[in-house]
Amino acid sequence: MRERAAAAGLDLVEPRWLILYRVWARRFYAVPLAPVPGVREVEARTIAALQELLREAEAGAGWPGAGRKVAPAP
């Protein structure tokens, strides 16, 4: 499945997050691997939307390098 492969690719380049594709929900899902105040999980319909939400969560948490651009997952 293309979405699972995209989630696995993004998981490789996002060391701060566990990235999954939830087939039953048809959504990409991310869980922070370190505490992020006010964020338990992030989910979106597309990889691009998920990456945008990850950057917002990181910026809100004040993580170093927050807002960095990451190449889109394959």
| pLDDT tens per residue across span 35-54 | 877 888 999 999 999 999 99
Backbone angles phi, psi at 72, to 5 degrees: -60, 145
* pTM (two decimals): 0.79
Q: What is the distance, to the nearest Å, from the Cα of residue 1 to the centroid of all Cα atoms in its chain?
A: 18
**Residue 63 — pLDDT band, cuts 50, 70, 90?**
low
Integer Cα distance of 38 and 71 in angstroms:
26
Q: What is the mean pLDDT of the chain?
A: 85
Q: Average pLDDT of 11-23? A: 94
Under DSSP, is residue 3 helix (H, G, I), strand (E, B) or coil? helix
Rama region for 65: left / alpha / beta (φ>0; ψ in -120 to 50; rest): left
What percentage of residues in the chain have a pLDDT greater than 70?
82
